[in-house]
Structure 1
């Protein structure tokens, strides 16, 4: 079983044991046993959480409450009233009492039991006082000692327990110096409080009432992050420059890509034009050589018939070019005297092969 679980069980059992010893409604109690716990400074008595020990020595239902959600009440038990403004509920929670003027007795750390000074908003020090009034050494006083005046401090020690049962102490020091001032115990004079980032040795020395473990004044926990105007400006300018830079980069990249593609297209069409011119030239040379070969092979033929054949070849010039692109050219020449067909396909293929080797382009084909 882990140590934290053991501590939780021990604490629960101790609380249950304490509750079992508490007196309930209508049972006798001892008012002299009303006291503050020596470690936690919490009020305790012989009665349970729903009752208080009356001066008659009997546990009676509480007549008021300090907390909005009090501890220890059963769900079916109605909660007592909270005191209105100008009144307070004492530690005994027996009934509401009017706030006390300066000089009257009060209970430990119960600034709400003291009347705040009228029309003195400059004395308001947040949660450290009750709008300038405080319970200092069990008497209601005003926190109005100015800079350089003599002062005294009230130190209260609280005992806590860490893991493993180790004790630690938390000292809360209070004084009657005005807001933004603190009482130096060595000089007994009110001095200005330190700002955030300054060195400190106690919470009361800082304007934020928070001195960290590095002895530096810092913002209290839970403080909302405050963004300065220059941070907004720098962030906005950075976003704008980033958008402009990205736009320029994309524009230049797209422009370079278009130029490269245009160059490839132009090179492709130049090569296609070169191929076309080469094919036309090959066709012309092939036709002239075929004509010479036909003239020598048809020596016994009629010149008129050969001219008719040549005219037929000229009429089918487009078909001959497509035939050359396919890799063959078949020409049929008819010898009228011998009635035989002369095929000169082999001769044509040789001519085309020779011309292709002669007109082969240097640059590769761009796909």
Structure 2
């Protein structure tokens, strides 16, 4: 069931107005409460009411601080002073009604309060009464019925809407003092029930919340309190999530660093193997050159002077030495081994030249 204050708010603060403007004709016989919502309806628009002469006139009072249907900055009718009320028609302020007078549906504020209003007034904001006065079955009375005494009950069916569609919500009210409820079957005031007790309606529970299971639940208007252990668990979860995230990122990045390090090590091993192959090739070439005749001499000096071809001519002093393809190949490598090897044939040739 919906909380009672919300039902009251929907029933007498909203106005289902007609379309007639100021000065247009209207009929007071059309004034009524709409079925299901019990909103007041007349032929006039939201800023006028249907007067006794059959024309729409501007409203003379308002019930709410922010009335419905007025544009921003527009002149609104005044609120009624203390000791008066504004009826559903909102034509003019009227004096509060004494006990036994006719009143409009759910308009407890139309009834005059009892002398002990401070003791009987509803301070729970549930709409049980207004200053100890209550309007039941369109009659003003005081909410002063005590435990196990006779009481008056009013059941009003409202049309409500939920997740499963439209349904009927019955709001039951009585004239018992605060803390008691009027039982519809016995018409007696009974004590409100505590949490966990069996119930059939919200009014039976002190929390004003009868669960679908048929027991009184907690007050839905109270703030939710949890134990200290809940805060501890939540804090552990938060800090655990933070540290878990940091550790996960650290392990992930360390794995990526290891992969990159392995790639660099593999590259270094490949480059080192290539360098070793080059050193072996150089050593093999050096050994081959040193194994040549005349102790590695690049040219032979055992030849005759007569009948020699130009290619067999001896190397003369100050003559430019003839180049060697092997010398050029090894010289391009810029290696210290090449410099030592190529110096040996030059010295050998010079010693041979001295012989001649």
Instruction: Please state which band the TM-score falls in when normalised by the shorter chain.
Output: 0.5 to 0.7
Q: Provide the C-alpha distance between the structure 2 equivalents of 1:260 and 1:44, rounded to a whole number of angstroms.
A: 79
Q: Provide the C-alpha distance between the structure 2 equivalents of 1:60 and 1:141, rounded to a whole number of angstroms.
A: 35
Query: What does residue 346 of structure 1 align with?
Result: none
Query: What does residue 284 of structure 2 align with?
Result: 285
Question: C-alpha offsets along residues 59-80 of structure 1, whole Å, 9 cap, x if unaligned?
Answer: 9876433355366x999x9654
Query: What does residue 66 of structure 1 align with?
Result: 63
TM-score, normalised to structure 2's length? 0.56
Q: Provide the C-alpha distance between the structure 2 equivalents of 1:321 and 1:58, rounded to a whole number of angstroms.
A: 118
Question: Of the candidates 82, 86, 108, which is equivalent to residue 79 of structure 2?
Answer: 82
1:111 aligns with 2:115: no
Size of the alignment, in residue pairs?
A: 289
Segments of 5+ residues of structure 1 without an aligned counterpart are 1-13, 24-28, 324-328, 337-367
Map residues 146-295 of structure 1 onto 2, 5 A cutoff.
148-158=147-157, 171-187=170-186, 188-193=188-193, 201-206=200-205, 209=208, 228=226, 234-295=233-294
Larger fraction in helix? 1
Q: Provide the C-alpha distance between the structure 1 equivalents of 2:224 and 2:253, rounded to a whole number of angstroms.
A: 43
Map residues 332-351 of structure 1 onto 2, 5 A cutoff.
none
Q: Provide the C-alpha distance between the structure 2 equivalents of 1:236 and 1:161, rounded to a whole number of angstroms.
A: 42
Q: Displacement of 1:245 after TM fit?
A: 0.6
Map residues 22-33 of structure 1 onto 2, 5 A cutoff.
22-23=26-27
Segments of 5+ residues of structure 2 without an aligned counterpart are 1-16, 303-314, 316-320, 336-340, 350-356
CA change 1:251–1:134 in 2 (3 A) is same
CA change 1:316–1:277 in 2 (3 A) is farther
Q: Is the 8 A contact 1:51 1:62 kept in 2?
A: no
CA change 1:274–1:244 in 2 (3 A) is same
Query: What does residue 141 of structure 1 align with?
Result: 142
Query: What does residue 356 of structure 1 align with?
Result: none
Q: RMSD in angstroms over aligned alpha carbons?
A: 5.6
Query: What does residue 52 of structure 2 align with?
Result: 53
Q: Is the 8 A contact 1:203 1:209 kept in 2?
A: yes
Q: Displacement of 1:112 after TM fit?
A: 0.6
